Amino acid sequence: MTQNQWQPVWESARWFLSADGESGKRGGNETIRVTPEGEVSLRLPTPMRHLANAAHGRYVLAGHVEFAHRGAEWRARVAADRAVAYRIHYNPGKDRWYVDALWRPKDAPAMSLAALRSGEVIGVDLNADHLAAWRVDIHGNPIGRPRTFAYDLSGSSTRRDAQVRHALTALLRWAVRTGAKALAVEDLNFTDSQSREHYGRRKWFRRLVSGLPTGRFRARLLAMASEAGVAVIAVDPAYTSRWGAEHWQKSTSTPNHQTTRHEAAAVAIGRRALGRRLRRRAAPPRQHQTDAAGHRIVQAGGGSQGREEASRPGSGSRTRSVPPTRRPYAGDQATQHRSGPPIDQGLTLVDVQERFDPLFAHPG
């Protein structure tokens, strides 16, 4: 921009007039008053009272305003004399003056986690260029097909913020249309300093992680979800992508749609919000072959990294030949972790004979 182009932009950025709202005053603002019909009037200070063209030292502007976005809510506040803040500013590109109306919405009522888990939730996986979402029922099963809400974070900060708002608007409209009670998102907090400690010299991966719009996404989501009447559940992000790809990517793929890793992670996020396990249980044994195929126990092997705790034992015997365990966790049963015959578990031949041959007597 040349100096002649830059000068009017710099000056117009300082041509504004703002006034905070006051509850109980006429129209919700005594300094800048806007009637429901769109008439704008200003209360002039004492040295400028001689310029007033209306009663009580007020100056009425010739133009009228109209609020297309949330105009019904604004008119209701003005009619009830509730506080509304106004800001009058100039746009040199369009050569027009604008009036912004601002007010603080009511705090959304807090809902318990148990109440949110009584219905469907939508798991949302945040990525560098899109949001992957999948609806999950009360039992943790994915419903329908996943949805993708893309955005482009290139350009100025204003454009990036608009891209995130557009994606969240489409996401919330889908959530309201499907009747989901809450959105489940990961509790992410990526910064460049934190990613440097975790990922070291891998600059390309640090740049990818730090580029995620976590702060902007969190602030926009909480504000917009509150207005839409949709709750937000923040979950632990540990292993959601890994276990989602391992246990849900292949099982949810169809010949017409191949589930991506991010869509599978959305299922894992939704299941964690509902208090369900992220990993699927092993397939049940074949009929009449329980002893040969093994029991249907925990969802992952005992040596898996970051595995969840073992499942509680059920009442009664699992098979006719194996009695129920008396230990607090079913994962501690010796029958599940045997690596060989008793002779390989620190027993001598004499101990084996004494245990299984009642006629054998050890001398001494």
Taking only the tens place, the pLDDT of each residue in 306-326 is 444 444 555 554 555 545 554
Judge whether residue 278 has pLDDT over 90: no
In whole angstroms, what is the distance from residue 139 CA to residue 37 CA?
Answer: 52
* pLDDT bucket at 150, cuts 50 / 70 / 90: very high
What are the chain's domains? 3-102 (no CATH), 113-273 (3.30.420.10)
* pLDDT bucket at 91, cuts 50 / 70 / 90: confident
* pLDDT bucket at 181, cuts 50 / 70 / 90: confident
Contacts 24+ apart (CB under 8 A), 36-44: 36/75, 36/78, 36/79, 37/64, 38/64, 38/65, 38/66, 39/64, 40/64, 40/65, 40/88, 40/99, 42/17
CA distances from 40 to 64, 87, 99, 126, 175 (A): 7, 12, 9, 43, 38
**Maximum mean pLDDT: which of 83-87, 187-191, 296-300:** 83-87
pLDDT at 219: 80
* pLDDT bucket at 203, cuts 50 / 70 / 90: low
In whole angstroms, what is the distance from residue 100 CA to residue 18 CA?
Answer: 9
Q: What are the φ and ψ backbone dihedral angles of 110, each rounded to 5 degrees?
A: -75, 140
**pTM of the predicted structure, to 2 decimals:** 0.61
**Maximum mean pLDDT: which of 41-55, 190-204, 285-299:** 41-55
pLDDT at 14: 86
- pLDDT tens for 65-77 read 999 888 898 999 9
pLDDT at 127: 86
Judge whether residue 99 has pLDDT over 50: yes
Least confident stretch, 201-215, 245-259, 311-325: 311-325
Structure-model confidence comparison of residues 287 and 170, the more confident one: 170
